[in-house]
Amino acid sequence: MELVALCRTGFEKELAAELVDVTATHGVHGYPKARDGQGYVQFVVDDGAELLRCINAVVFDELVFVRDWFVSAGAISGLPADDRVSPLQNQFKAAFSGHIQEVADLLFLNVDSNEGKALSKLTRGVGSHLKRQLPLAKGSDWLGVLLLLSGSEGFIGVCPRRQRPRWAGGVARLKFPREAPSRATLKLEEAWHHFIPASEWDTRLAPSMKAVDLGAAPGGWTWQLVARSMFVDAVDNGPMAPTLMEGGQVTHRQVDGFAYHPPKPVDWLVCDIADKPARVADMIASWAENSWFREAVFNLKLPMKQRYKEVLRCREQIELRLLAAGRDYRLRFKQLYHDREEVTGHLELR
């Protein structure tokens, strides 16, 4: 059996390294099959039952490079154009009938590439036929998953229902707000969706909260904070969008973001400065040690090489400082759909 995981294309090595680490912490050992640019990684394991246990035990929200995932018996090739359904159905039965009696539904995924997207219509067509052949039961804890790689190759698999990303394939479907000064605005909105449960937005992203936005110009992230009726210190030497300044909720501070600290603690720190990840992590740790924020969202621009290791290094750098300071916290990282060569961190102090 294998764990099939999707990622941003170009991040297959990082995803493979993460899968090796995460499965090992759950006592599952295997080997990754990853090809640059294919947008997914297969992690092959001998013991299928162990893998099904593992995909249930890992905390999906803690994963950094995994956009979506499922367990499969391997890619099927040579699907005949006149009956793609039967081989998929047969593999499903052979692979899973001993472990999983029913699935609640069949999900359709595609790789996030032009070829992958071009297959979505075919996937829906094949999937709607296949669904009728699967043992469906609304109350099942499992979902079936169909992912086609071409007209003649694809995966059929299963995924626990509670181990899903918010959006299928991790593709965040957010509408760009026309009034926002930059497309970067979607990164902060997606980060909130990912890190903060919808039921907690009203208390954790509440009106009149105080926020600092480091590297704020032209104001896409500040716009999100203002849209939640917060008061924002926007720190950047560059110009802020004039429309954003008109409402009176934003104070523009033209100083170095690494030297700035707030006169009084704030509710939110957000930071989109593109600098060395270790430098940003160091600054976040200093703010946290001083309790200058309650929650922070920050971007780490990843280097060209050793990107997975860099995330681990930055995590450790922050954690060691917080442990030394005796702080209770939750720290997570995610490569969001709107992130490119970067990951987004979220630190909540308790």
**Residues belonging to the active site:** 301
Half-sphere exposure of 40 (CA within 13 A, CB side): 26
Minimum distance between the CB of residue 299 and ligand SAM, rounded to whole angstroms?
8
Site string for ligand SAM, 215-244 (x = CB under 6 A): xxxxxxx-------------xxxx------
Give burial (CB, 10 Å; 0-12/13-18/19+) of 93. Answer: middle
Tell me whether residue 220 is annotated as binding. yes
Which of 60, 231, 258, 329 binds ligand SAM (CB under 6 A)? It is: 258
| CB 250 within 8 Å of CB 222 | yes
Q: Which of residues 142 and 293 has its CB atom nearest to ligand SAM in the complex?
A: 293
Shortest Å distance, C-beta 255 to ligand SAM: 7
Our finding on whether 157 is near ligand SAM (CB under 6 A) is no
Alpha helices in 29-75 (DSSP H): 48-57
185 binds ligand SAM (CB under 6 A): yes
Q: Show contacts with ligand SAM in window 274-303 (CB under 6 A).
A: 274
Q: Which is nearer to ligand SAM, 15 or 273 (CB)?
A: 273
Exposed / middle / buried, residue 247 (Cβ in 10 Å: 0-12, 13-18, 19+): exposed
Size of the site for ligand SAM (CB under 6 A): 22
Q: Which is nearer to ligand SAM, 73 or 174 (CB)?
A: 174
Contacting residue, 257, 281, 307, 310, with ligand SAM by CB under 6 A: 257
* 37 assigned binding-site residue: no
Q: Which residue has the closest beta carbon to ligand SAM?
A: 220
> Looking at 68, 190, 272, 342, which residue binds ligand SAM (CB under 6 A)?
272
Stretch that binds ligand SAM, among 1-9, 13-21, 82-90, 256-264 (CB under 6 A): 256-264
Phi first, then psi: give them for residue 334, nearest 5 degrees: -150, 135
Nearest to ligand SAM of 76, 235 (CB atom): 235
Q: Which residue's CB is nearer to ligand SAM, number 96 or number 298?
A: 298
Q: Which of 104, 174, 91, 89 is nearest to 140 (CA)?
A: 104
Instruction: Say if residue 217 carries a ligand binding annotation.
Output: yes
233 known ligand binder: no
Using the rule CB under 6 A, give the single segment among 40-48, 68-76, 169-177, 250-258 that binds ligand SAM.
Answer: 250-258
Tell me the closest approach of the beta carbon of residue 228 to ligand SAM, in angstroms: 15
Beta bridge partners of 68: 6
Exposure b/e, 141-173, CB count within 10 A at least 16 = b:
ebbbbbbbbeeeebbbbbbbeebbbebbbbebe
Looking at the DSSP assignment, which residues form a beta bridge with residue 3? 43, 71
**For ligand SAM, which stretch binds (CB under 6 A), given 115-123, 170-178, 214-222, 326-334?**
214-222
Rounded to whole angstroms, how far apart are CA atoms 25 and 13?
A: 19
Cα 11 to Cα 6: distance, rounded to the nearest angstrom? 10
| Six token digits for residue 81 | 């154009």
82 is in an annotated binding site: no
CA distances from 263 to 184, 217, 249, 266 (A): 27, 21, 17, 9
Q: Positive or negative CA dihedral for 184, 185, 189, 195?
A: positive
Tokens of 155: 């995966």
Nearest distance, CB of residue 270 and ligand SAM, angstroms: 8
Annotated binding site: 217-220, 236, 256, 272
Annotated binding site for S-adenosyl-L-methionine: 217-220, 236, 256, 272
Which residues contribute to the site for ligand SAM (CB under 6 A)?
A: 181-182, 184-185, 214-221, 235-238, 256-258, 272-274
